[in-house]
Amino acid sequence: MSKPPEVSFSHIGLFVIDMDRMADFYTRVLGFFVTDRGMLSGRRLTFLSRDPREHHQIVLSTGRHQDLHVKVINQISFRMASLSALQHFWRTLPNESVSDIDPIIHGNAWALYFRDPEGNRIELFVDSEWYIAQPIRHPLDLSMPEADIRRITYEFCRDKPGFKPIERWYDEMRELMATHRAAG
Of the two residues 89 and 72, the one the predictor is more confident about is: 89
Dihedral-angle region of residue 155 (phi above 0 means left; psi in -120 to 50 means alpha; beta otherwise) = alpha
Q: 80-100, pLDDT tens digit by residue?
A: 889 999 999 999 999 999 999
Q: Which residues contact 78 (CB under 8 A, 6 or more apart)?
A: 30, 122, 123, 124, 125
5 confidence band (pLDDT: 50, 70, 90): low
pLDDT reading at 2 higher than 80: no
State which amino acid sits at residue 35. Answer: T
How many other CB atoms sit within 10 Å of the CB of residue 50? 14
Does this model's pTM top 0.95? no
11-70: CATH, from 3.10.180.10, 3.40.50.10860, 3.40.50.300, 3.40.50.150: 3.10.180.10
Query: Domain spans of the chain?
Result: 11-70, 73-184
Cis status, amide bond into 4, omega within 30 of 0: no
73-184 shares the fold of 11-70 = yes
Using alpha carbons, select from 43, 44, 45 the residue that is nearest to residue 35. 45
Which DSSP string do the residues of 112-151 spell out, in sequence order? EEEE-TTS-EEEEEEE-SEE--S---EE--TTS-HHHHHH
Give the pLDDT confidence score for residue 165 in this predicted structure: 96
The highest-level CATH class for domain 73-184 is: alpha beta
Of the two residues 2 and 107, the one the predictor is more confident about is: 107
Give the pLDDT confidence score for residue 174 in this predicted structure: 85
On average, the pLDDT of the chain sits at 89
